[in-house]
Structure 1
């Protein structure tokens, strides 16, 4: 995907020129006349660097990441426009259902509270949600129906990648971790009641819940006595680990096995489908770029080494 975005930005290089003085300063690009705003770019950049503490990137790093994110936004906008042209855009109903699904993981008004604490603008969040829904719809409604996976191709893939379908013995746990024993026990109680990991973390802000897989023979020494006699569905007592506490709930205990072709087919199909979808998408994007008019701010263009005022733009665009 990274190569696609580089190609997008290099294609834009040919189409861009001096920015119109009457242009809104908040607009950093136009895709077939539709604006992309600096606020959209900054929102995605901030999400990428959430939790990075006091790290201060160099100007070159910021510029490179801005270019990458802008390429992503341009592709998303092209996809949204394709859905509009085919008269199957993301509807208000689909947006509401998707937002309600996200909100359902957060009790009471904790969703809004988290947005406030993380300085996330709700409109920027909804804009990115709509782009994501558009990408999902494009793949499922436009690209996927064009792909057929031949059983012989799947069988050949299985036989040439047998090692991928050897499942080692191991344990699948739900790990509930927090800064106090009582918080961890409360997290276990909420998990037993059916709350999702996100809902538990929202309700108990100092508790994290995640699923982990550990191979047999790789269980940490400090956990062995706690997990050796567990049965599926049972939980360990609270384990003290440095300055934190955790509890493990055994979801599954697996023996080593080699999946049969029939058992492996869903995995094979997923791999082949992803490969074919990517190829279809790249072909579509190449054609779409050839017929689209895209302009971006000069400040966000990829830097082309040794490109002075006399450099031929066609030659500059070939630089990778």
Structure 2
């Protein structure tokens, strides 16, 4: 999902829940439905799936309180509601995510996992494939919405580019840097032979193919950020020369210095792609906020009462007695986003 959309969905949660908490109630008989967006349901299983993904590595051995769980579910539900609104807008435009697009997105993910490693990963992390695909469809929808709906609205002129460049000049100042080829692998001799091979071919890809047991890449590293071993090896190294340093546990890193780059400030022409990207991202946030406010206002959004109304004793640890044993439990219900109570 595009970063700016993810951030805006998180912020939207507070707006949505504030809106719902002041609304009237209706009866709802749908089992496992935690919200409806213009009649389309959002199921508890998707809410639980999203929660598990976000808290997979956060389990500390203690159970969360009901209040903490309600808050977490509420935040996640706000994002799901916004994503459902996005998908409905794409559907209205005839640009919804097709099965072919979904299959292509899945294939892109799977190509990073050889053989059956993808299924094994899902099993090890207790991820249901059907739920993963539903989540992927939401993600594809958000990306498609940005590309087809929001991006065409963004138009920049040179004056905006120039003003942003002047206001953020520090962001375009580059420190002293090393541009070098790095070869990593076991055995000093193999690393030295690989460096010599590069000296003849001048091709990192050819080097990696000729020495399959080694890793080779070209990098540009700020001088003040290189580690002590690299700093010592590169200190008096002339461009075109090589050095080998220990990487620990029998591994070595070979360094071939291509050039030393001085500190500099990018001019506006050089900085243009970065400035444009930053401004486009800012405008996309604004366009999404404006669209979402209208979409929420024009929609009927129903949310389960149990995600909205806090009980007096729900923040107590599970083993503690209720603060008020006589407090009655809440009744299942929903809130409407376009009704006032």
| Residue 7 of structure 1 pairs with residue 15 of structure 2 | yes
Give the Cα separation in 1 of the matches to 2:183 and 2:304: 47
- 1:86-127 per-residue CA deviation (whole Å, 9 max, x = no partner) reads 111001111111111111111111111111111111111111
Match of 2:308 in 1: 301
> Is contact 1:227-1:236 (8 Å) kept?
no
Give the Cα separation in 2 of the matches to 1:111 and 1:102: 9
Q: CA deviation at 1:248?
A: 8.4
Unaligned stretches of 5+ residues in structure 2? 1-7, 191-204, 210-216, 313-329
User: 1:254-265 alignment to 2 at 5 Å?
Assistant: 254-265=261-272
Give the Cα separation in 1 of the matches to 2:238 and 2:126: 43
Secondary structure of 1:217 counterpart: helix
| Residue 30 of structure 1 pairs with residue 36 of structure 2 | yes
**Normalized against structure 1, the TM-score is what?**
0.74
**Normalized against structure 2, the TM-score is what?**
0.70
- 1:215-238 per-residue CA deviation (whole Å, 9 max, x = no partner) reads 322323355446665989x99666
Give the Cα separation in 2 of the matches to 1:19 and 1:235: 74
Give the Cα separation in 2 of the matches to 1:250 and 1:277: 42
Q: CA deviation at 1:55?
A: 5.1
| Residue 166 of structure 1 pairs with residue 166 of structure 2 | no
Match of 2:90 in 1: 83
Give the Cα separation in 2 of the matches to 1:172 and 1:45: 43
| Residue 114 of structure 1 pairs with residue 121 of structure 2 | yes
Q: CA deviation at 1:213?
A: 7.7
Match of 1:200 in 2: none
Give the Cα separation in 2 of the matches to 1:174 and 1:67: 49
| Residue 240 of structure 1 pairs with residue 248 of structure 2 | yes
Give the Cα separation in 2 of the matches to 1:16 and 1:73: 21
Match of 2:161 in 1: 154
The 3 A distance-change label for structure 1 pair 285 and 255 is: same
> Is contact 1:16-1:298 (8 Å) kept?
no
Q: CA deviation at 1:299?
A: 1.7
Give the Cα separation in 1 of the matches to 2:218 and 2:128: 30
Secondary structure of 1:28 counterpart: strand
Secondary structure of 2:224 counterpart: coil
Give the Cα separation in 1 of the matches to 2:42 and 2:83: 11
Instruction: Determine which structure has more spread, i.e. the larger CA radius of gyration.
Output: 2
Q: CA deviation at 1:9?
A: 2.0
Match of 2:47 among 36, 41, 51: 41
Give the Cα separation in 2 of the matches to 1:230 and 1:302: 69
Q: CA deviation at 1:168?
A: 1.8
> Is contact 2:12-2:79 (8 Å) kept?
no
Secondary structure of 2:225 counterpart: coil
Match of 1:123 in 2: 130
Secondary structure of 1:71 counterpart: helix
The 3 A distance-change label for structure 1 pair 132 and 236 is: farther
The 3 A distance-change label for structure 1 pair 97 and 81 is: same
> Is contact 2:36-2:302 (8 Å) kept?
yes
> Is contact 2:238-2:257 (8 Å) kept?
no
Match of 2:99 among 86, 92, 96: 92
User: 1:169-208 alignment to 2 at 5 Å?
Assistant: 169-170=176-177, 192=208
Aligned length: 282
Give the Cα separation in 1 of the matches to 2:33 and 2:124: 27
The 3 A distance-change label for structure 1 pair 44 and 254 is: farther
Match of 1:196 in 2: none
Unaligned stretches of 5+ residues in structure 1? 194-209
Match of 1:17 among 19, 25, 31: 25
Secondary structure of 1:89 counterpart: coil
> Is contact 1:15-1:294 (8 Å) kept?
no
Give the Cα separation in 2 of the matches to 1:260 and 1:39: 52
